[in-house]
Structure 1
């Protein structure tokens, strides 16, 4: 039930949905005053959520800072959180990744530098109404194709959210006590919630943030004044994550 509710909330937190609702109210409300207010509200949201500079500043304030690769120590295992692949039934002969692929590409770099010994990939299928190939298995295939030794890849394919990632990983690590130094890898925007969940589950891990959405601060006309449709989707992701963090805090998950 929690998984389904989270997917519903994901839809309701879309800024574009808010704009559409306000525009519909501006059309159908009888009061001229309130029609004007809702129309101005829709225009204000459009300007706010399409501004690249404001979006980047918001991302910079929320994301966990990057750890320089040179400062990363030696770790027995890197726990990689999924959420960066998708299964397409019409193109099943390859693995499809998203921008978040840095979640496994950057640990792969650390592995090649002998900074981590093994991977533990945690994550099942993200579908609500149908079955799919667990994301952990998809990322495992990519790492194998990249030349990672099979014995260096461990997978956990039952988790469907961050809390389950933490609980299932904690259960596994309790049985495999040889892993002392643990590196937690996820997107920079997701690290606050993930780190809180893993700490709550009893996993003592250092964080390594990847997949950054904030950009370098630039005071150029295109950043300051020119609207961007892409910024809407970025705002949706940020609002969803902050809301998820608050909900997890209230429920005692992190």
Structure 2
């Protein structure tokens, strides 16, 4: 991709579009717009409103490099910009954490009707997306979150500080060290990709996102099974889990067998059974 000094926005986008399309990127127009908007420090609407604006200097250099990294190395756009929107929040993300997805927002929605002031714990919090969104939208809740990865917790802590949201973060595997007698709800977007599906993942995901947050044994249930068991041993009345495509029937059975026998399955916008919520 060639972008010289003083190139109008429209031309910079067209040049990036050619490079990204040629590389087989799934969403070349969107990616080009997000990257250029970030380079210029504006929102995407400004690109459409002012297509004649010139891209110069440091913005040109950053945009050219970002498009190359996206096209050649398939680095995710969110890692290139360091940002990802989730619910009403603008989160900082980097390769230490899974990039929050729109379908995970269904987990937050499923818990917005919890009783006033109860305790909720987010297992495998990553960037802190679920925990921070819950606390942002339901400030009365007592929200805790944990992750086995120190790097992920550092990202979550940084997001909480920058956003001014009070969530208690702890390092630990699943519910280890969590006061289960005080819990009302457990929520998690756990690793659920089966090892055999590794080769089928998009390069963006497989090559760049943390495997610890993706893969969970031969069936993809290596984290969900023990988490359901641990949750059953707490006082939690609600257990909400994100699951992979095709996993909902099995997970529904696991959740019901653990005593959360009032089970609801929520589909994402693509119609996939994505969230399993058990109550008791």
Mark yes or no: TM-score above 0.5.
Answer: no
Bigger fraction of residues in strand: 2
Instruction: Indicate the structure whose relative CO is greater, using CA pairs within 8 Å and at least 6 residues apart.
Output: 1
Q: TM-score, normalised by structure 1?
A: 0.30
Structure (1/2) with the larger helix percentage: 1
Which TM-score applies when normalising by structure 2? 0.28
